[in-house]
Structure 1
Amino acid sequence: MVVLTNTTLERITLPVAPKPSTYFSGIPVINLAQPGSETLLVRACEELGFFKVTNHGIPMELIARLEEEAVKFFSLAQVEKERAGTGNPLGYGNKTIGHNGDVGWVEYLLFDVTSKPMSHTALAFLEEPSASSLCSALNEYVSAMRKLVCEVLELMAEGLRVQPRNILSKLVMDEESDSILRLNHYPPCPHLPELDSSLTGFGEHTDPQIISILRSNNTSGLQIYLRDGSWVTVPPDQDSFFINVGDSLQVLTNGRFRSVKHRVLAHGLKSRVSMIYFGGPPSGERLAPLPLLMGEGEESLYREFTWCEYKSFAHGTRLTDNRLGQFQR
């Protein structure tokens, strides 16, 4: 269990959200090694837009190594972390999420991930050997995530009975694919308000990309929004990966798959460290419902737009805004 207690995050005014009393037991679990998993996967995307994968083939040593490097970074003095705030492709931030007024009880590292290995020179704010160690862990993890994203998207195509098998995965495996890796740290917040509520770590939102793959330590906080209007807590599982349908995949399936709204609440005593890989398409990729998934006489729910257009629009919105509403017919 990872607990970082020496955080320099100052106390800020944050939204207070009620805590669900129990964990949600209805999270679909997809065993990637089990025959028929493609059918279960499609059903999970249609009904919830969120699921957990097991037997994913990612070595736990690789996962633990990146988490260890993340903990080392977030344990640095604030002035040292701030040196990473203007780098490219890496950036550090705390409290402020985006440029439009959203805040949270969180600090993070954000990486612009491409198909090319990251050079440790991009981590020049760290002294050697720390830069090389973090860079190596990042490259190994990103390589593993690309393979897992590809496998999951190809299983989706199988389950949807569309060809070619890489009709979805090619969008995130292209050399120009716009993918992101985010390392989040939610420090302990021992002075929470009344016991039946919690501070917001990361406010409610959907992910703009095609697909998101999340892994965290064994600390709760992640919640998803159900269609009945309730928020439920996802039981933590540090050995598995959780996968979100993103806005772009909702468009590609003409709303058959639903981009799930989710948020993170601060924990009173434990640190939460999460690693999220966002698989996005190339900047100029035109997004519209795939004709192969359209039934006879079915009309498109969305007008065609490029990923660059959608990403630019999303960056100008608040977390809670309905981004896709701008692109609906």
Structure 2
Amino acid sequence: MFFCVCVYGDSSAVSGYIEAVKRLACEILDLMAEGLGVHDPSLLSNMIRDVDSDSMFRLNRYPPSSFHTPPPPHRATTTTEIGFGEHTDPQMLTILRSNDVGGLQICVAGGTWVPVTPDPTAFCINVGDVLQAMTNGRFMSVRHRALTNGFKYRMSMAFFGAPPPHAWLSVPPELVTPHRPLLYRPFNWAEYKKASYSLRLGDSRLQLFLK
């Protein structure tokens, strides 16, 4: 299935949007750290604020899976073809927004795929692999996929908050206890990215970094 990545619009508008969602990502990470009892509430967000942060912004455009005449109003359109296969985001946190066309699905316990209701006025927040590792499994990376709509284009905008390439990623000591031992060995983002590119899209990358 055809999938493309495009960037549109005035560069100043795009830059302003990126800065806004970056601030939102940092606020969310601060609240997570505070809720977990981490001694420095800005420990996680500082990695995204860093001038060398490897964060990125992406626009996705999914064409309809059918170019035939749309069905009558009383018949529902379907989203049955894969636009982007199942995976987890390797970064820390993803801030996602889309138009009013469905297609995003998340995998819940038991392997069931659940559609996410599209809302162009809201954000979808996905935990990534790095955040799962740094919180010692308190927050779990979200496995998700994108399906194409039968008759409509789907657009999405994603900000992927990531640490600097050589930042040391380790679990804060407050999150390691006798009842919850350390799950992952320390690593850096450059090492994790290299491992990610060596695997297939749907493979579990964190398995390579288990303690």
TM-score under structure 2 length normalisation: 0.90
Q: List aligned pairs for 1:276-291, cutoff 5 A.
A: 276-291=158-173
In the other structure, the counterpart of 1:105 is 2
Corresponding residue SS for 2:20:
helix
Listed as ranges, the matches of 1:32-181 within 5 Å are 104-109=1-6, 133-181=9-57
Matches of residues 197-208 of structure 1 in structure 2 within 5 Å? 198-208=80-90
Structure showing greater Rg: 1
CA distance in 1, matches of 2:138, 2:179: 15
* RMSD (CA atoms): 1.9
Query: Structure 1 unaligned runs (5+)?
Result: 1-103, 111-129
Q: State the number of aligned residues.
A: 203
What is the one-letter code of the residue matched to 1:165? Answer: P
2:94 counterpart residue number: 212
More off after superposition, 183-192 vs 217-226: 183-192
* Contact in 1 for aligned 2:106/2:116 (Cα 8 Å): yes
The structure, 1 or 2, with the larger RCO (C-alpha pairs under 8 Å, 6+ apart) is 2
Residue 72 of structure 2 corresponds to which residue in structure 1?
Answer: none
Instruction: Give the 3-state SS of the residue equivalent to 1:145 in structure 2.
Output: helix
Q: Which runs of 5+ in 2 are unaligned?
A: 69-76
Runs (4+) of structure 1 moved beyond 6 Å?
A: none
Residue in 2 that maps onto 1:269: 151
**Identity level (%):** 47
1:244 matches 2:141: no
SS at the partner of 2:10?
helix
Matches of 2:23 and 2:79, distance apart in 1? 39
Q: What code does the residue aligned with 1:150 have? A: C
SS in 2 for 1:259: coil
The aligned amino acid for 2:52 is: E
Report the Cα offset of residue 282 of structure 1. 0.7
User: Is 1:309 aligned to 2:191, yes or no?
Assistant: yes
Distance 1:196 1:134, change over 3 A: closer
**Amino acid in structure 1 at the alignment position of 2:33:** A
CA contact (8 A) 2:67 2:151 kept: no
Letter in 2 for 1:180: M
